[in-house]
């Protein structure tokens, strides 16, 4: 399994371009997947590396012929028919984490892996029954400049009501080309507000740090991106001298690259497994690396319902190794792995190919991690914003519980 794989999940989305939550991605080798060309062949071989089975698409071909020959409008787009057929195959699996991306969506997704976004710069949590809630804004972003705040509920994007929409659906509405505008209807307490925001290119750091309490190094990882290992190592190198303890904040972190998760664990653990994956090809056991910047520093990890996938790997592995206590609420519970299969037209299938397990063999899928110190926040706006440290953390009960745990205060 490629080490530069990507583990994403959860219900939080950086709506800057379309950073995709609720997924556990492998992005190392872009190999072939289930392929359908525009001629709708009767049988389509699966040309990935797991199976040589054949898929009978006779009915797909028949339906396409009927549509092209007899549909009332003559301007039927064969490319759209082809893409819809792939979407149908994906949907038939009944797997919410196997997703089809058209070429433009996939291009934006690849940009998000590099931490480059075109959008407004908000982090959002999602509910299947309620409205998306903004959990923070990117410093210097159009969203921050417009006055959007953590705790704001997004009611409409343009004239589209977004109650219960998935992260992917909301992303498609909010993202867009640089320089274009998007209008959000926001519920803030009893107020209904309207914001018209111009989209922009944004480069987002995945790690921010500060000193809190009595010489405690606070490090927040927003996502496990391609630069996270370097950014995290730098944060430790800069902040550890003189620090008596570390708080690692993984709240709202939807996941990211396997390699980054391994590297973060390795900074605190000196030996053993970080995690393992189980798939058709057997078991792949990931081992702790060699760079241990903080093997003995007291450590607490903040988690919440939107900590997912790679974030859960890090938090769970540190908990299993008895290296850290978890503080917060039960995590999202995402234990499957998706791999990118790029199709010939530039579109992509994120296909579930494995499931991952903690070093003790346990899965957190559909269960999440249980914190050692359960603490709820009254509001998402109570979270400490390390990008605006002057606001303080007096209302952040989870952070203060971690401080008390580490310093005995």
pLDDT at 149 over 50: yes
C-alpha span between 90 and 131 (Å, rounded): 26
143 neighbors 184 (Cβ within 8 angstroms)? no
- Average per-residue pLDDT for the chain: 83
**Strand runs (DSSP E) across 126-190, as ranges?**
133-137, 153-157, 160-161, 181-188
DSSP state, residue 177: -
Mean pLDDT computed over 157-178: 85
Q: Which residue from 210, 221, 217 is spatially nearest to 245, judged by alpha carbons?
A: 217
* Residue 204 pLDDT: 76
Q: What is the mean pLDDT of residues 46-64?
A: 67
Q: How much is the average pLDDT of 128-138?
A: 83
pLDDT of residue 18: 29
Whether residue 51 is predicted with pLDDT greater than 70 in this model: the reply is no
Cα dihedral across residues 384, 140, 146, 173: positive or negative: negative
Q: What is the DSSP letter of 371?
A: P
> Is 60 exceeded by the pLDDT of residue 22?
no
Average pLDDT over residues 330-353: 89
Neighbour-count burial for 202-227, b at 16+ CB within 10 Å, e otherwise:
bebbbbbbbebbeebbbbbbbbbbbb
pLDDT beyond 70 at 194 = yes
Q: Which of 318, 265, 340, 406 is nearest to 113 (CA)?
A: 340
If DSSP codes are grouped into helix, strand and coil, which group holds residue 128? coil
Residues 6+ apart with CB under 8 A from 392: 384
Per the model's pLDDT, the better-predicted residue between 167 and 385 turns out to be 385
Per-residue pLDDT at 17: 26
Q: What is the pLDDT of residue 166?
A: 75
Predicted confidence band of residue 398 (pLDDT cuts 50, 70, 90): very high
The string of pLDDT tens digits covering residues 362-371 is: 999 999 999 9
- Is the pLDDT at 96 greater than 90, yes or no? no
230: Cβ contacts below 8 Å, ≥ 6 apart? none
Strand 325-328 to 299-303 pairing: parallel
Tell whether the model's pLDDT for residue 49 goes beyond 70.
Answer: no
- Please determine, for residue 228, whether its predicted confidence score (pLDDT) is greater than 90: yes
Percent of the chain, pLDDT > 70? 85
Whether the pLDDT of residue 39 is over 50: the answer is no
**Per-residue model confidence as pLDDT tens digits over 236-279:** 999 999 999 999 999 988 888 888 999 999 999 999 999 999 99
């Amino acid at each position: 399994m490629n080490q530069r794989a990507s583990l994403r999940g959860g219900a939080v989305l950086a709506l800057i371009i379309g950073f995709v939550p609720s997924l556990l991605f492998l992005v190392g080798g872009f190999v072939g997947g289930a392929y359908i060309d525009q001629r709708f062949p009767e049988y389509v071989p699966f040309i990935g590396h797991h199976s040589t089975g054949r898929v009978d698409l006779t009915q797909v071909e028949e339906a396409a012929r009927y549509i092209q020959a007899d549909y009332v409008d003559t301007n039927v787009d064969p490319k759209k028919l082809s893409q819809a057929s792939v979407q149908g195959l994906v949907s038939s699996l009944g797997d919410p984490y196997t997703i089809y991306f058209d070429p433009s969506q996939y291009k934006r997704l690849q940009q998000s892996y590099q931490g480059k976004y075109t959008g407004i710069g908000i982090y959002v949590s999602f509910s299947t029954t309620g409205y998306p809630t903004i959990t923070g804004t990117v410093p210097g972003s159009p969203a921050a400049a417009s006055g959007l705040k953590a705790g704001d509920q997004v009611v409409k994007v343009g004239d589209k009501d977004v109650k219960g929409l998935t992260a992917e659906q909301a992303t498609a509405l909010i993202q867009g080309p640089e320089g274009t505008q998007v209008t959000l209807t926001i519920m803030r307490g009893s107020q209904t507000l309207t914001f018209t925001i111009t989209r922009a290119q944004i480069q987002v750091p995945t790690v921010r740090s500060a000193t809190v309490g009595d010489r405690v190094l606070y490090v927040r990882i927003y996502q496990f991106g391609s630069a996270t290992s370097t950014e995290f190592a730098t944060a430790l190198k800069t902040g550890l001298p003189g620090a008596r303890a570390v708080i690692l904040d993984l709240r709202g972190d939807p996941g990211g690259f396997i390699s980054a998760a391994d590297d973060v664990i390795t900074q605190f653990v000196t030996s053993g497994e970080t995690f393992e994956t189980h798939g058709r090809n057997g078991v792949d056991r990931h081992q702790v690396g060699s760079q241990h910047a903080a093997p003995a520093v007291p450590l607490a990890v903040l988690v919440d319902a939107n900590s997912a996938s790679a974030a859960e790997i890090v938090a769970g592995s540190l908990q299993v190794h008895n290296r850290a206590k978890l503080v917060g609420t039960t995590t999202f519970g995402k234990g499957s792995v998706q791999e990118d299969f790029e199709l010939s037209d530039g579109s992509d299938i994120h296909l579930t190919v494995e499931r991952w397990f903690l070093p003790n063999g346990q899965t957190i899928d559909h269960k999440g991690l249980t914190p050692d110190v359960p603490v709820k926040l009254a509001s998402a706006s109570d979270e400490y914003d390390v990008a605006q440290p002057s606001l303080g953390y007096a209302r952040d009960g989870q952070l203060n519980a971690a401080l008390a745990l580490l310093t005995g205060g």
